[in-house]
Structure 1
Amino acid sequence: MKSYRDLIVWQKSMNLVTLVYSLTSEFPENEKFGLTSQIKRSAISIPSNIVEGYGRNYRKDYSRFLQMARGSLFECQTQIEIAVNLSFISIDNCKEINELSIEVEKMLNSLINKLSKN
């Protein structure tokens, strides 16, 4: 592997960020500095932590940053569910983002487990 850009989990998490930005563009204007901002920050944190960990020289550091990425992913999933509960978006409108976030979650779990076994 030559670059973090080769990591499928990073690529998919970048796609997740794009979907989050698209989804939150439909939120009410008065949520611009509230839930909208929070969801965007948690989504951006996922690929950011993946690459920061990748850039570290130690497996333990990499695993720790992957765990932080997973935490940000859980935060993003929860905030999207809150947005559904508040009727900012419908369940149908976030189907793709939910499916992708579950896929990223599984990939992060797998990578974390792999690093902890070595």
Structure 2
Amino acid sequence: MFKHNFKNLKIWQKAMDLTDLTYDYCKGLPVEERYNLIDQLNRCSCSIPSNIAEGSGKRTNVHFAEFLTTSLTSLFEVETQSLIYERRAYGSEKKLKECLELVAEVQKMIFSFRGRILNGGE
């Protein structure tokens, strides 16, 4: 197993960027969604880099890959929440587009990285 300093992983850095972006986007959402969609989006966006960080400390690549998979499921959740916002025409359309583009980028990065570590590479 290759040990990873999660702060040096590009996937963690991009996931942190996504978390920042979603928190910023949520500032422009309707206050009545504070304890519903906003909290949900903030929680699942935080889960992405958190699971990458936690997985980086696991003993095997297989265990790390499981945490990367959990990060992916949180990404799918962020994407779904964002699409709900899009359907309801909430918040800044520009920021929402940025979020969705970054979600797609991070998904590709995690899929690729997970495949590499499972195949013995880094």
TM (normalized to structure 2)?
0.91
Structure 1 residue ranges, 4+ long, deviating more than 2 angstroms after superposition: 89-93
Is the contact between residue 25 and residue 92 of structure 2 (CA under 8 Å) also seen in structure 1? Answer: no
Match of 1:29 in 2: 31
Gaps of 5+ in 1: none
Number of residues paired by the alignment? Answer: 118
Q: How many angstroms does 1:90 deviate by?
A: 4.8
- 1:60 paired with 2:62, answer yes
- 1:100 paired with 2:91, answer no
Q: Which moved more, 1:61-70 or 1:85-94?
A: 85-94
Is the contact between residue 6 and residue 53 of structure 2 (CA under 8 Å) also seen in structure 1? Answer: yes
Secondary structure, counterpart of 1:72 in structure 2 = helix
Matched residues, percent identical?
A: 35
> Matches of residues 38-117 of structure 1 in structure 2 within 5 Å?
38-117=40-119
**Partners of 2:77 and 2:118 in 1: CA distance:** 23
User: Given residue 98 of structure 1, which amino acid in structure 2 is its aligned partner?
Assistant: L
